[in-house]
Amino acid sequence: MAEIEIGMGKDGRRSYSLDEVAIVPSRRTRDTDDVELTWQIDAYTFDIPVIASDSDGVTSPATAVEMSRLGGVGALHVEGLWTRHEDPAAQLERIARAAADPEADHVGVLREAYAAPVDPDLIGRRIEEVRSAGGTACVSVSPAHTETLLEHVIAAEPDLLLIHGTVTSAEHVTTSGHEPLDLKQLVRRLEVPVIVGGCASYPAAMHLMRTGAAGVLVGIGSGASSTTAQVLGVGNAHATAIADARAARMRHLDETGVYVHVIADGGMTTGGDIAKAIVCGADAVMMAAPLAAATEAPAGGALWSLGAFHHELPRGRLRRVEPQGPLEQVLFGPATGPDGRTNLMGALRRSMAVSGYGSLKEFQKAELVVTSPSVVRPGVLDRAGEPGASM
């Protein structure tokens, strides 16, 4: 991609958000009944390519079970409210009230809710809650606390493990005296499939793939509750970030024969967003805001990230999304309106059908065009002029 001169002493690439690209239909169309949405990672096959975000406002043990029933998977964060409190209902209600009140001290409310330490015993109990109810036990942990909590996580035998941070690298440099997390050594000693991220560039994705991870999460600062772009100034528009990771996956596959899944993380609110993320190269998507709008969501539409209450430098906001209906309706319809925020899988299926592709792998081969430039900066404002679109 050609470099653009930012000034006499600095060049940069132009990057594109999902809003700035469109899918070009092929010469054929298909019946929607002939479209297949199945996604497989390691030994696990899912009917739909959707992971419910590891935000506490999206995934509880109950919603993880419901996501599994509907064919997807929910990621439960082992540093969230569900492992800090025996019953987090009071904290969730307080957060929901604050999210509906623009004058409330959002950071203070979140910090108070997360003041209790993680109870290692609750990690195993929450995983067992999901498994005993027939759900896929997918859990998430931050890179900073992976080594501390890993013993308790692995003892509970989850099905999938996400090591998920704002920016996760395979090579962390430190002079502080403590040993940094060695992702390559860690991933290769685990029997459970590991998904790592986030990342937003070709080299970062390539190095994460070389750790032996089954998948990488792609996206930094593109979500509804994220203020990473404002606070840190880092990121990459999502369409470009996914396409860069796709290129890394192709090279890694050529070098090793191992296919690593690319999972688009954040910045998607509609079925069209999901479709474009897949055409850019994603195998699946991790979503927050659309699923936080389900009536089963644990915080009544409140949405935030684990970076929103950081004790020194919060990098997220607490916000509320309007309820759209049951989780099943959000995913499979019928749609409640013409904005694409409900019946997400129906929209994805129809996008594939009108474009002429029968599977997600085939859909990745679809042609994209760049449309008119977005009027807002990715990760800062969405189409309606409100903060972000999704986590």
Number of Cβ within 10 Å of residue 191's Cβ equals 7
Is the sign of the CA dihedral 265, 269, 270, 273 positive or negative?
negative
Q: Quick one: pLDDT at residue 83?
A: 97
Token pair listed for 384: 């309606």
Phi, psi of 40 (to 5 degrees): -125, 135
Question: In angstroms, how far is the first alpha carbon of the chain from the final one?
Answer: 28
Which is more confidently placed, 177 or 292? 292
Per-residue pLDDT band at 292 (split at 50, 70, 90): very high
* C-alpha distances out from residue 218 to 40, 67, 183, 243, 271, Å: 18, 21, 17, 10, 18
Q: How confident is the model at residue 374 (pLDDT cuts 50, 70, 90)?
A: low
Question: Which residues are 215's β-sheet partners?
Answer: 195, 261
DSSP bridge pairs for 162 = 140, 195
CATH code of domain 18-370: 3.20.20.70
The span from the CA of 388 to the CA of 266, in Å, is 9
Tens digits of residue pLDDT in 8-22: 899 898 999 999 999
Domain boundaries, the chain: 18-370
Q: Give residue 108's pLDDT.
A: 93
Q: Over 90: is that where the pLDDT of 389 sits?
A: no
pLDDT in tens, 29-88: 999 999 999 999 999 999 999 999 999 999 999 999 999 999 999 999 999 999 999 999
Question: What are residue 391's DSSP bridge partners?
Answer: none
The answer to whether the beta carbons of residues 57 and 74 sit under 8 Å apart is no
pLDDT digits (tens, 9 = 90+) for 152-208: 999 999 999 999 986 565 554 444 555 667 888 889 889 999 999 889 999 999 999
Secondary structure in 3-state letters for the chain? CCEEEEECCEEEECCCCHHHEEEECCCCCCCHHHCCCCEEECCEEECCCEEECCCCCCCCHHHHHHHHHCCCEEEEECCCHHHHCCCCHHHHHHHHHHHCCCCCCHHHHHHHHCCCCCCHHHHHHHHHHHHHCCCCCEEEECHHHHHHHHHHHHHCCCCEEEEECCCCCCCCCCCCCCCCCCHHHHHHHCCCCEEEEEECCHHHHHHHHCCCCCEEEECCCCCCCECHHHHCCCCCCHHHHHHHHHHHHHHHHHHHCCCCEEEEECCCCCHHHHHHHHHHCCCEEEECHHHHCECCCCCCCEECCHHHHCCCCCCECCEECCCCECHHHHHHCCCCCCCCCCCHHHHHHHHHHHHCCCCHHHHCCCEEEECCCCCCCCCCECCCCCECCCC
In this structure, of 174-178, 194-198, 302-306, 342-346, the range with the lowest mean pLDDT score is 174-178
pTM here?
A: 0.91
Report the length, in residues, of the chain.
391
Cβ pair 263, 195 in contact under 8 A: yes
Q: Which residue has the higher pLDDT, 78 or 147?
A: 78
- The mean per-residue pLDDT over the stretch 90-108 comes to 94
